[in-house]
Structure 1
């Protein structure tokens, strides 16, 4: 039996502002359902991804901005960073972690630049949506078997 993760709920304070942000960075809108003033579901999907996000009202008790370290895998992190900057998104410089592949929480273990040898899975850049939900771009040029 397969268990596929296909949907993540992100808590936001202003649905229309968040929706505009995700549109700006290229997410496809799959649905925008409004039942009443207190319930709204907007499903958006990143380009090339089988997994979507949902934002809305009345869908989660989590605090806006409380979701962190959502990884968006890209094959060229320099290009992805330039694309986001071109969309007006504040993106960190590219970094790698001093301890290896997966980044520590916070910024204390970040080393500037691409991973030595540009190892797959080891170079990152970070950004956040308007509420502070945090994303990491992670360069994956070759998949582990």
Structure 2
């Protein structure tokens, strides 16, 4: 069976503010904006180069606005990505790596400022939030693990 992650729903409080952030600030592609009826609206946007989109709107989830955590955007040069986001007015924490040398812990625990020693693929991160507080990570991947 071939399974592909196509869409992730994120909870937001203000659809137009989220749309402005994701499209105008981050540069995500605007795919759709369907105001179906009062209380039900679907907005779909896609990060540049991604096969997976995000959807937000009204009447799509019961999750509290800003409760999405651990969403990852993969970049090949984290310093460049941080610079671009910062230049667009996004407050970015990082780059950083985890003191275990593995995947980052939840929250800010175990974060060590700066690039991972020897800059291994999958080892360096940065983070930012959208206007509601949904948490996004940048993860630097320069060489994919086998099979990916």
| TM-score (normalised: structure 1) | 0.98
Q: Deviations over 1:115-143 (max 9, x none)?
A: 10000000000000000000000000000
- Mapping for residues 1-145 of structure 1, pairs under 5 Å: 1-23=1-23, 24-145=25-146
Partner of 2:63: helix, strand, or coil? coil
- Number of residue pairs matched? 145
Distance in 1, Cα, partners of 2:67 & 2:130: 11
Which 5+ residue runs of structure 2 have no aligned equivalent?
none
Distance in 1, Cα, partners of 2:59 & 2:90: 27
Which 5+ residue runs of structure 1 have no aligned equivalent?
none
After TM superposition, what 4+ stretches of structure 1 lie above 2 angstroms from structure 2?
Answer: none
Partner of 2:44: helix, strand, or coil? strand
| TM-score (normalised: structure 2) | 0.96
Alpha-carbon shift at residue 35 of structure 1 (Å): 1.0
Distance in 1, Cα, partners of 2:6 & 2:124: 24
